[in-house]
Amino acid sequence: MEPNSGNIARLVRELLVELGEDPDREGLLKTPERVAKALTFLTSGYRTDAKQLINGACFTQETSSMVIVKDIEVYSMCEHHMLPFFGRCHIGYIPSGRVFGVSKLARLVDMYARRLQLQERLTEQISRVVMESIDARGVGVMIEARHLCMMMRGVEKQNSTMVTSSVLGVFRDSLPTREEFLSLIGRRAP
């Protein structure tokens, strides 16, 4: 169900007043509606189902080679301050007879990112859906992101990057597999 844009716009207008702004001045006249539209899009992941998104785009392929899609752009909003965080997601998996259509991995990242999120949760959600959707032998997901809630306010550290990873199956159980993943995405094991 889509959010009620009229209610969101009304609340944004009230928020502008509470912040000391005049919502009737020229630059803000349409801001409540714009914010409502933006928030509806930025939270569309709540209204997207992973199975429908994948929609059968998993294909039979006998291979035991690692599959990697790296540098998938990530844009999300932290659930604590509703400020953006952004960066790159790297996904690797070892199939067990089924592979993804390559664009579906990027779409899965977007689906989970378009929610109020914690980077840690986002990383876990992506790895689990990849693992479960194709019964992979193993999955590795790493996200490197910059958080505006840390850059614009609070500690105001503009050059900090948060790195999270989730490894399942053989990526967790086999150090050489994990090291291969890190090497192929251009990172080194600690």
pLDDT, tens digit, 9 for 90 and up, residues 115-159 = 999 999 999 999 999 999 999 999 999 999 999 999 988 888 888
Catalytic-role residue among 80, 120, 132, 158:
80
**CB-CB contact of 106 with 98 (8 Å):** no
Q: Active site residue: 117, 144, 147, 180, which one?
A: 147
- Known catalytic membership, residue 117: no
Helices (H), the chain: 5-18, 31-42, 50-54, 102-113, 119-134, 148-151, 170-173, 175-184
What gap in Å lies between CA 65 and CA 19, rounded to an integer?
55
SS3 8: helix
Averaged confidence pLDDT in the chain? 94
81 is catalytic: yes
Q: Is residue 101 a contact partner of residue 58, using CB atoms and an 8 Å limit?
A: yes
Task: Check if CATH label 1.10.286.10 holds for domain 5-42.
Answer: yes
Which of 21, 33, 58, 81 does the annotation list as catalytic? 81
Q: How confident is the model at residue 90 (pLDDT cuts 50, 70, 90)?
A: very high
Q: Among the options 90, 117, 119, 144, which is catalytic?
A: 119
Would you kindly state where each structural domain of the chain is located, as residue ranges? Answer: 5-42, 55-184
Q: Higher pLDDT residue, 2 or 169?
A: 169
Q: Exactly one of 78, 89, 117, 125 is catalytic; name it.
A: 78
Question: What pTM value is reported for the model?
Answer: 0.93
Q: Active-site residue among 14, 79, 132, 179? A: 79
Q: Quick check: is 58 catalytic?
A: no
3-state secondary structure of 83: coil
> What kind of architecture, by CATH, is found in domain 55-184?
2-Layer Sandwich (3.30)
Q: Which of 168, 145, 133, 135 is nearest to 72 (CA)?
A: 145
The pLDDT of residue 190 is above 70 = no
Counting Cα atoms < 13 Å in the Cβ hemisphere of 78 gives: 17
